[in-house]
Structures are given as structure tokens and as C-alpha cells.
Amino acid sequence: MKGNTIVSTLAVFAVLMLANLGWAQGTTSFAMVGITAVAGTTDEQAIRDMDAEWSRAAENKDATKFASFYSETGSAMPFNAPIATGRAKAQELWAQLMAKPGFSLRFAPTQVEVAQSKDMAYDIGTFELKLNDAQGSPMTIPGKYVVIWKKQKGGDWKAEADIFNTDK
């Protein structure tokens, strides 16, 4: 319960912080972030495209590629585990999870919002994690997440904060 309270508090804090920054309204289409916007592509679409690429890295169990979507100082905040801050720690976290029997992860945003300043964004979405239980039987774990993105020098978007928790 304590972990859920912390997660809820962080999510509310993130939303309030973003509201204070004057976020613009976006649309709700699926895609991923993590790549530099192509000429003529909106920041929202760039983030959606990156999310798709990020999810593919998870499906391919490529912890190095997966971690490349985090900034050097970005944090992953998984359920039932400590915060992993920094790209190297995020890679360790994901490599351990990806090594578990039956691992499969797919996710997609349901909402992407880009700040009017166009230097920060967030996406909210859902995921489906598959792992084998202690008896070796496959189990499916649905959940949700929030990612805070920051545009880097050079125009690349990188995840500064990635928090996720299960629905069960």
C-alpha cells in the first residue's frame, strides 16, 4: 500500500508540475518517443514514434537499446523495486527483468502532451508484461505508466522519469 501511495503522489505531482508549466493539449494516438523529430513531424508524433521503437526494444529483449531512451540522469521507477537513476542503472534493471523466464513487454501511450515551450513532454499509457510464475506457468500483468520527456541539446527527446505500476 505504501508503494501505491508514493506512486499516486508522484503521478499527481507530475501532472500538477506539468500544468504549472503551461502544457498544450495534444491528441490521443498510439506511438513511441526517443528519436529526434523529423522535419515536418510534430513533437507529439516524434514521442509516439519513439515509444513504438522503445517497445520494440523491450520485445527484442535489448536492454542496451531500451536504456538508450533514458537521459544520462533519467530514472526508472519500477513497482516493488528501488529507483534506478542513470542510464547504466536503468540498463541493469531492465537486463535483469528481461532475463526472467517468459519475459515479454509491450506498451503504448494513450495520451501525449507537449509543453508549449516544446522542451518537455509527458506520456501516459498502458502496458502488458508477461512472465512465468514460480511454477513456470505464463502469467500476464497489465499496468500503466507515466514518462516525463525532456528535449536534449540537438533535439533528441529522452526520458527523465519513467514510473510504472501494475493494475493487479
For residue 168, the model assigns a pLDDT of: 84
Cα separation, 119 vs 157, whole angstroms: 9
pLDDT tens digits, one per residue of 134-158: 999 999 999 999 999 999 999 999 9
For residue 20, the model assigns a pLDDT of: 35
Cα separation, 41 vs 38, whole angstroms: 5
Cα separation, 154 vs 12, whole angstroms: 30
For residue 9, the model assigns a pLDDT of: 35
Over residues 67-72, the mean pLDDT reads: 98
Model confidence at 159: pLDDT above 70? yes
Domains belonging to the chain, first-starting first, are 2-166 (3.10.450.50)
Contacting residues for 167 by C-beta, under 8 A, at least 6 apart: 141, 142, 143, 144
pLDDT tens digits, one per residue of 17-69: 333 333 333 333 333 333 344 444 699 999 999 999 999 999 999 999 999 99
What are 149-152's contacts with CB under 8 Å, separation 24+?
Answer: 149/33, 149/47, 149/120, 149/121, 149/122, 149/123, 150/71, 150/119, 150/120, 151/43, 151/118, 151/119, 151/120, 151/121, 152/71
For residue 29, the model assigns a pLDDT of: 32
CA dihedral 28, 71, 166, 132 (to 10 degrees): 120
For residue 122, the model assigns a pLDDT of: 98
For residue 41, the model assigns a pLDDT of: 67
Cα separation, 126 vs 146, whole angstroms: 9
Over residues 78-83, the mean pLDDT reads: 94
Cα separation, 70 vs 74, whole angstroms: 5
Model confidence at 127: pLDDT above 50? yes
pLDDT tens digits, one per residue of 129-139: 999 999 999 99
Is pLDDT larger for residue 28 or for residue 112?
112
Model confidence at 126: pLDDT above 70? yes
Q: Look-up: residue for cell 500538477?
A: 16
